[in-house]
Structure 1
């Protein structure tokens, strides 16, 4: 087995180029056809055109992130079967082109969520942050979601009101845009009115109902993926808590265990994201890697720093430097090296792609204006650190520990 260094690229409009990715040391590219709306078919000629563009830069498109899942599939609303059929045919087209790792998520309505995109980082530069008070202020006093104040509680709602009242009009608009305009690779832009309407459509969708939809989805798509030699890798919730009254079912050890039980083959695998899962203190990442390693098909390696408050169940956090923060990436990398040796001993020659997920804005990153969370220098630093850690873990594994 080979641990493959990859780099997320958002296509021809990305200000971080394929040349940057190659010079950072990546060999594989993580990409998606973001111009095609979720639920629609990915034509094979469009896949091949993007693939050739990547190959012309001396790289290979090895991971799709993400092949989108529509809200009507998650809710099993009218039209969901056609969306799944298009997903299945897109799997076949990707496999025909030799792309056999597909990441997806099951987060209702919103993908990864932050309240601040360029907060000063402790060591200099800028980072992304999720502030629970700011999010509560958005939920209760900007979106005005029915029942939100009761869910957040009287004390936090009062604190959120003080926060909201202190915002200038420009700051309020920045908070709205950060949450609703969509982060890279996430949901599309939404207005407050559209968000409220979509939330109403989820009324009555319980965690069990969302699990039932995921079970049915896997029943339909996983056998096709298995036949094509494709790994479907589900991404954890980010943050791994319910937001806006929506259920989230990919947040804990028990959640991942349940998902993997729904289809036993490799086609049903994990995108193991140390940053998303690491936000919860009750997620013991090293133990989770040890348990789930045989079913990990893609790795997002990053670290978050929690800002816990004893009076709150949900945590504020920021994106730390890759080898800092709450995730013990060195211990995790040692576990992954053990898995590499296990797979190699079994004759498994497939690669396990990993990427330095997210990154702080460093040096001239801000002037370049890359997508939030995806700067060039910050990710180059992260990939270099991870590469060195994997090399040391490999030596430790092979030269006597």
Structure 2
């Protein structure tokens, strides 16, 4: 596997030299400074490539080339935004960057209720608690009609949870849920999120899926002609939040997307963390079913503490049997004669990094530890298979 690490650009407090010394050879990056929907120009792409190459690294994967909300809703200037997307795809391919990750999650990129769950060793992890989220949705945000999305038992559990929070803890919960987009340290406000939610009032799963398939029918041929591969990231978490539709959460969702647009340029970012948050997803079967569509790997692990709580765990210790996943991936790479890019998705916050402000899940030491463990696992499996 190609060892990569995500870098958020020149404003990232993690330096490229740190990533190089961690053992990564590839960089996963995006031009966060360009407004969503605008064209990524060749000059801007090459400028970023040059910065990365100056450290002996290569920009190998785009994460993400974001999809404008008007494309997701098929409203407003969505046709122009699709045309802009095509131009950006061609420009990236011309610069030699051929793997482009994106997601089709409305509004929020991913959601956790606690960014600093304390592990036994004192390191900190990301956690999702449904009771906390329900309390946020119904009693803090007070989303219109939110109470109709939950049972009376769920609302009572949420209220019990919230009654034990201080005002400071309530404010922190609010901040955690409304984390801004990757590369940004600006959170959504209540007014902003409620206004954005209004735009999705008439869009259900079926409509959102139709909009995704239309988008793919337009951009996948461009990617294929350019020799590029699109890799959709699964929903995180893989179920509805804030009443929003979710269409990349289950095995059935993947089948619908890939059946509708059969080109292998219409591919998957295989994220073990997102997919494993729904225990009904069979991660090994997904590899078997879509081995020719997996273009990028996010390897992280989760532990489901109960039906309502999951948290991120050590990369090799959790509900995901990582040794089985990596062995299957190695078989796929051997069959396809490719080396897939992999990054150790997220990582614990260790005390050594506490003083350095970083995007949640993206401190250096935790990801370095994950990268080292995954590299060691891969080497061990390769050796075992050679005997």
Structure 2 length-normalised TM: 0.97
Q: Give the aligned partner of residue 380 of structure 2.
A: 392
Distance 1:6 1:214, change over 3 A: same
Question: Which 10-residue stretch deviates more, 121-130 or 182-191?
Answer: 182-191
Alignment of 1:302-381 (within 5 A): 302-309=300-307, 315-344=308-337, 350-381=338-369
Which string of whole-angstrom CA distances, capped at 9 and with x for unpartnered residues, describes residues 337-376 of structure 1?
11111112xxxxx441000000001240212222210111
CA separation in 1, counterparts of 2:186 and 2:255?
30
What residue number does 1:20 align with?
Answer: 18
1:269-284 superposed matches below 5 A? 269-284=267-282
SS class of match (2:270): strand
Q: Equivalent residues in 2 for 1:82-121 (5 A)?
A: 82-121=80-119
Structure 2: gaps of 5 or more residues: none
SS of residue matched to 2:290: helix
* Secondary structure of the corresponding residue to residue 259 of structure 1: helix
Structure-2 separation of matches of 1:113 and 1:300 = 17
Structure 1 CA distance, aligned partners of 2:184 and 2:298?
Answer: 15
2:168 pairs, out of 167, 170, 174, with: 170
Q: Deviations over 1:17-41 (max 9, x none)?
A: 1111111111100000111121111
Q: Residues 113 and 183 of structure 1 are in contact (CA less than 8 Å); yes or no, is this contact kept in structure 2?
A: no
Aligned-residue offset at 1:326: 0.8
| CA deviation map 1:306-326 (0-9, x unaligned) | 1223xxxxx321110000111
| Mapping for residues 209-288 of structure 1, pairs under 5 Å | 209-288=207-286
Tell me which of 283, 293, 296 is aligned to 1:295.
Answer: 293
Bigger mean CA offset, 62-71 vs 170-179: 170-179
List per-residue Cα deviations over 1:275-306 (Å, max 9, x = no partner).
00001111111222222222100000000111
How does 1:21-60 map onto structure 2 within 5 Å? 21-60=19-58
Could you list the runs of 4 or more consecutive aligned residues of structure 1 that deviate by over 6 angstroms after TM superposition? none
Structure 1 residue 156: Cα displacement: 1.7
CA contact (8 A) 2:64 2:101 kept: yes
User: Aligned with 2:298: secondary structure?
Assistant: strand
| Distance across 1 between alignment mates of 2:239 and 2:374 | 27
CA distance in 2, matches of 1:254, 1:376: 35
Report the TM-score when normalising by structure 1: 0.93
Contact 2:185–2:359 (CA<8 Å) still a contact in 1? no
Q: Distance in 1 between matches of 2:109 and 2:367?
A: 21
**1:28, 1:62 within 8 Å by CA — same for their partners in 2?**
yes
Shift of 1:124: 3.1
Answer yes or no: is the 8 Å Cα contact 1:299–1:355 preserved in 2.
yes
Is the contact between residue 108 and residue 181 of structure 2 (CA under 8 Å) also seen in structure 1? Answer: no
Distance apart, 1:186 and its partner CA: 7.8
Over 3 Å counting, the alpha-carbon distance change for 1:351 and 1:228 in structure 2 is farther
CA–CA distance in structure 1, aligned partners of residues 382 and 60 of structure 2: 23
Paired residues, number: 387
Contact 2:267–2:294 (8 Å) recurs in 1: yes
Name which of structure 1's ranges 388-397 and 183-192 shifts more when overlaid on structure 2. 183-192
Q: Shift of residue 184 of structure 1?
A: 3.1
> Counterpart of 2:117 in 1: which secondary structure?
strand
| C-alpha distance in 1 between matches for 2:49 and 2:40 | 13
8 Å Cα contact 1:359/1:374 also seen in 2 = yes
CA distance in 2, matches of 1:130, 1:33: 28
